[in-house]
A = this chain, B = another copy of it.
Amino acid sequence: MYNAPFLKELIRSSLEEDIGTGDITTMTVIDGNTVAYGTYTAKEDGVVFGLWIAGMVFSELDPDVEFRPLVSEGDSVRAGDVIATVKGNARSVLSGERVGLNFMQHLSGIATRTRKAVDAVRGTGVRIADTRKTTPGMRALEKMAVKAGGGSNHRFNLADGIMIKDNHIVAAGGIAPAVAAARANAPHTLKIEVEVESESQLEEALNAGADIIMLDNMDIETMRKAVAAVNGRAVTEASGNMGDRDLAEVASTGVDIISIGALTHSVRALDISLKFRIDPERE
């Protein structure tokens, strides 16, 4: 489903981070033949994403562990819902427990917050998008979580989208030369987005042929005028502390996209617990 080699490496290093030179408690206290049966339960309402990573974590540690999700990625769950089970050698399951939960809770937190934002603009046709304000090393997964929550992805990195911001404009001597330089030198497969802060910049950007206009930190009235001025000549994107704004109101301005850094930079983990039944008799 996803870029396996990259994820395997991430999971491997996360296990190294958490296990270090060995899970000394489990190795010394738990008999090697014990079997554990575990149940993952949501402790609060939310949107689940990243269960499959817990499965990969166990596979990495011990291919015989059976991890079974009971809901689909992106599903809404209620407090008390059992969302997955795990069964396998108790040492493997105990040693992999925390890493799987750390991924799952963080990503479900992102999916949950994204879903709320999407719900806030439902019916308006506006897309909720993420940004590059992600946790170092976790961007791919965090962007998947945004999708699972119903959001859209903005460019993944500095290579797959052209975004001309204030500093680029100053350095290039204006919006027109900046857009021209990008068009002349960048791959023709990329759209050109320009960040504007005023009406005059907006006009300059449209005249230069910008494909996307980012309306940065504008109040509602200014944004509404800007969207009207664009009048379909470009895609419009509202940005700048959107995590603290009334999204329905922003959507009412007619923008096409609202991008929200807080979706990924200010995440409240979704509370998920894992409880075991241990069977020392078997395996």
Chain A interface residues (CB < 8 Å from chain B)? 1-6, 10, 12-32, 34, 36, 60-62, 90, 94-95, 98-99, 101-103, 105-106, 109, 127, 129, 132-140, 152-164, 167-168, 170-173, 178, 181-182, 184-191, 193, 211-212, 235, 237, 256-257, 262, 265-269, 276, 278, 280
Supposing A4-B61, A132-B18, A171-B278 touch, asked if A28 and B185 sit within 8 A by C-beta, the answer is yes
* Contact between B135 and A102, CB atoms less than 8 A apart: yes
- Interface residue from B19, B106, B132, B164 paired with A135 (Cβ < 8 Å): B106
* Contact between A106 and B265, CB atoms less than 8 A apart: yes
Supposing A61-B4, A172-B30 touch, asked if A21 and B157 sit within 8 A by C-beta, the answer is yes
A2, A6, A170, A188 — most chain B CB neighbours (10 Å):
A188
What chain B residues lie within 8 Å of A2 (beta carbons)?
22
A24, A106, A132, A134 — most chain B CB neighbours (10 Å):
A24
Majority-rule SS of A interface residues: mixed
Output the least CB separation between A234 and chain B (Å): 11
Output the least CB separation between A56 and chain B (Å): 12
Supposing A10-B136, A10-B137, A280-B171 touch, asked if A161 and B185 sit within 8 A by C-beta, the answer is no
Output the least CB separation between A263 and chain B (Å): 11
Output the least CB separation between A37 and chain B (Å): 11
**8 nearest CB pairs, A to B:** A161-B189, A20-B159, A160-B160, A20-B157, A28-B185, A14-B136, A23-B158, A137-B137
What chain B residues lie within 8 Å of A140 (beta carbons)?
17, 21-22
A29, A133, A135, A193 — most chain B CB neighbours (10 Å):
A29
* Contact between A266 and B267, CB atoms less than 8 A apart: yes
Supposing A158-B19, A212-B188 touch, asked if A94 and B25 sit within 8 A by C-beta, the answer is no
Compute how far the CA of A280 lies from the CA of B167 in the bound complex, rounded to whole angstroms: 11
Output the least CB separation between A237 and chain B (Å): 8
* Contact between A167 and B24, CB atoms less than 8 A apart: no
What chain B residues lie within 8 Å of A90 (beta carbons)?
167, 171
* Contact between B136 and A171, CB atoms less than 8 A apart: no
What chain B residues lie within 8 Å of A36 (beta carbons)?
167, 171
* Contact between A269 and B278, CB atoms less than 8 A apart: no
* Contact between A187 and B171, CB atoms less than 8 A apart: no
* Contact between A160 and B135, CB atoms less than 8 A apart: no
User: What 14 new A-B contacts, CB under 8 Å, besides A21-B140, A160-B161, A167-B278?
Assistant: A5-B15, A10-B136, A18-B158, A29-B181, A29-B182, A31-B172, A36-B171, A133-B269, A136-B137, A152-B185, A161-B187, A161-B189, A189-B191, A266-B268
- Interface residue from B95, B137, B257 paired with A158 (Cβ < 8 Å): B95
